[in-house]
Structure 1
Amino acid sequence: MPRCGGELVRHNGKYGEFIGCSNFPRCRYTQKI
């Protein structure tokens, strides 16, 4: 889980989908799907 307290949400990035923090890009926490 992100240290900033944000929620994990699905994002579409340059290299496909990933799960990242709702505070992205301020918080860079990510996980592969």
Structure 2
Amino acid sequence: MPRCGGELVRRNGKYGEFIGCSNFPRCRYTQKI
């Protein structure tokens, strides 16, 4: 879980799908799916 307390949302990036923080770009937390 991100330390900022944000929600995790599924996103598509350059290298495929990942889970990232909804507070991006303030919070850079990511996780592989």
Normalised by the length of structure 1, the TM-score is 0.87
Matched residue pairs, number?
Answer: 33
Provide the C-alpha distance between the structure 1 equivalents of 2:23 and 2:5, rounded to a whole number of angstroms: 9
Instruction: State the 4+ residue runs in structure 1 displaced beyond 3 angstroms.
Output: none
Normalised by the length of structure 2, the TM-score is 0.87
Instruction: Name stretches of at least 5 consecutive residues in structure 1 with no aligned partner.
Output: none
User: What does the per-residue CA deviation read over 1:1-33, in whole Å, with 9 as the maximum and x for residues that have no partner?
Assistant: 000010000011111110010011210000000
- Root mean square deviation of aligned Cα: 0.6
Instruction: Name stretches of at least 5 consecutive residues in structure 2 with no aligned partner.
Output: none
